[in-house]
Amino acid sequence: MSVRWETEGLQTVGIVCLVLMFLKLMHLLGLIDITETADSSDSDLELSTVRHQPEGLEQLQAQTKFTKKELQSLYRGFKN
């Protein structure tokens, strides 16, 4: 019976490690921002998603030589 408890404990530790490594990777890739809360007694982490801000439409037109309608169509297709 103790072998089963040890195995379950190791599985739990492994899962926690994988989740923490995944969160760290997401942070390193800039996909999430991990910040500590203002209350120092609360050790929970606050996660927020980083949103991409597209470049200006005129700048994209100048760089790519696409028309405004073509760029809008491409962007709508990308979002879908």
What per-residue confidence (pLDDT) applies to 76? 87
Encoded tokens for 29? 């890739």
What per-residue confidence (pLDDT) applies to 36? 56
Mind listing the pLDDT tens digit of every residue in the chain (80 residues)? 556 666 777 888 888 888 888 888 888 887 887 765 555 444 555 556 666 666 788 888 888 888 888 888 888 888 88
What per-residue confidence (pLDDT) applies to 29? 80
pTM of the model: 0.37
What per-residue confidence (pLDDT) applies to 3? 60
* Burial of residue 60 (number of CB atoms within 10 Å: 0-12, 13-18, 19+): middle
